[in-house]
């Protein structure tokens, strides 16, 4: 648990116009671990991720990746840092005028010197891994939302990144597919040992995958704890989050039925 810190947010503040979204956010991610950020919709989880990616600059505070303050470094330094990133955006952001195949091949074509045959082998392996064998020649607009998510994941993983950022990787997937994706994360992380930051609403299932869980509420991180500690925490925000998202699992059947009657 004491591996070095790869990502660190120190007192990060961010406002959009008059709306304050983040207020002195502190967060650390250690090498090889998985951090899951949870929280209600619209709290700023994606904004935190964008800070880590260097897409959004904090109004105050520091964002350090590999000990480099990425909000205040040169473009070429930022690019160097980003070479170890694999990113899945919440809206996936596939290149919509390219086929699925070309989307996954693009990082290989632009960043490596592999031959077209090696690229093909690599991309086809990723397509098979994501259960997309037959979708290679389709365009993003021609596949379903869940398939787009999987293409985005394949694209994020194709260069064997050392840090991955997944914004809601399983939203829109059926239970089987999302289980499959979780198994895949587990396997690839064991293989590649990457550091992962995942934003997810899939509580409590995502807890199995995580080393740390951080709740974003009230513009701040309410404790960054192991999943077990998280569920037992007496921080009021975390308690109420745990109760609302996981309550029915622990409540007796009678309580639950009265809950539904009330609704």
DSSP alpha helix (H) spans, 143-250? 145-157, 175-192, 227-232, 236-250
Residue nearer to ligand ATP on the CB measure, 107 or 204? 204
Written as six digits, the tokens of 86 are: 């694999």
Binder to ligand ATP among 1, 42, 176, 208 (CB under 6 A)? 42
At closest approach, how far in Å is the CB of 10 from ligand ATP?
A: 19
Q: Which of residues 70-99 bind ligand ATP (CB under 6 A)?
A: 90
Residue nearer to Mg ion on the CB measure, 92 or 100? 92
Residue 96 is a binding residue for other proteins (CB under 8 A)? yes
The dihedral sign for the CA sequence 152, 149, 36, 59: positive
Residue 45 is a binding residue for ligand ATP (CB under 6 A)? yes
Binding site for Mg ion (CB under 5 A): 46, 90
DSSP class of residue 3 equals P
At closest approach, how far in Å is the CB of 24 from other proteins?
A: 26
Asked if the bond preceding 3 is cis, omega within 30° of 0, the reply is no
Residue 195 is a binding residue for ligand ATP (CB under 6 A)? no
Q: Which of residues 29-58 bind other proteins (CB under 8 A)?
A: 53-55
Written as six digits, the tokens of 43 are: 């709290």
Report d(CA 92, CA 147) in Å as an integer. 10
DSSP string, 70-138: GGGS-HHHHHHHHTTEEEEBTTB---TTS-HHHHHHHHHHHH----HHHHHHHHHHHHHHTT-GGGTTS
Binder to other proteins among 83, 183, 187, 205 (CB under 8 A)? 83
Task: Give the footprint of other proteins on this chain (CB under 8 A).
Answer: 53-55, 79-80, 82-83, 85, 87, 89, 91, 93-97, 106-107, 110-111, 159
């Amino acid at each position: 648990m004491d591996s070095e810190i790869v990502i660190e947010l120190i007192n990060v503040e961010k406002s959009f116009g008059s709306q304050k979204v983040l207020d002195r956010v502190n967060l650390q991610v250690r090498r090889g671990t998985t951090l899951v950020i949870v929280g209600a919709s619209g709290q700023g989880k994606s904004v935190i991720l964008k800070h880590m990616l260097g897409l959004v600059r904090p109004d105050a505070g520091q964002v350090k990746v590999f000990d480099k303050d990425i909000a205040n470094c040169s473009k070429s330094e930022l690019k160097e840092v980003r070479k170890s990133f694999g990113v899945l955006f919440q809206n996936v952001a596939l290149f919509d005028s390219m086929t699925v195949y070309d989307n996954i091949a693009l990082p290989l074509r632009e960043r490596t010197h592999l031959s077209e045959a090696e690229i093909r082998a690599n991309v086809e392996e990723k397509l098979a891994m994501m259960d997309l064998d037959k979708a290679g020649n389709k365009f993003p607009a021609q596949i379903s939302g869940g398939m787009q998510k999987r293409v985005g994941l394949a694209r994020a993983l194709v260069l064997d990144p050392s840090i991955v950022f997944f914004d809601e990787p399983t939203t829109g997937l059926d239970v089987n597919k999302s289980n499959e994706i979780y198994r895949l994360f587990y396997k690839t992380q064991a293989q590649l040992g990457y550091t992962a930051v995942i934003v997810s609403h899939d509580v409590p299932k995502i807890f199995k995958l995580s080393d740390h869980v951080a709740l974003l509420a009230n513009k701040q991180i309410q404790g960054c704890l192991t999943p077990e500690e998280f569920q037992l925490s007496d921080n009021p925000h975390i308690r109420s989050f745990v109760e609302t998202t996981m309550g029915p699992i622990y409540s007796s059947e009678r309580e639950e039925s009265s809950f539904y009657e009330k609704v």
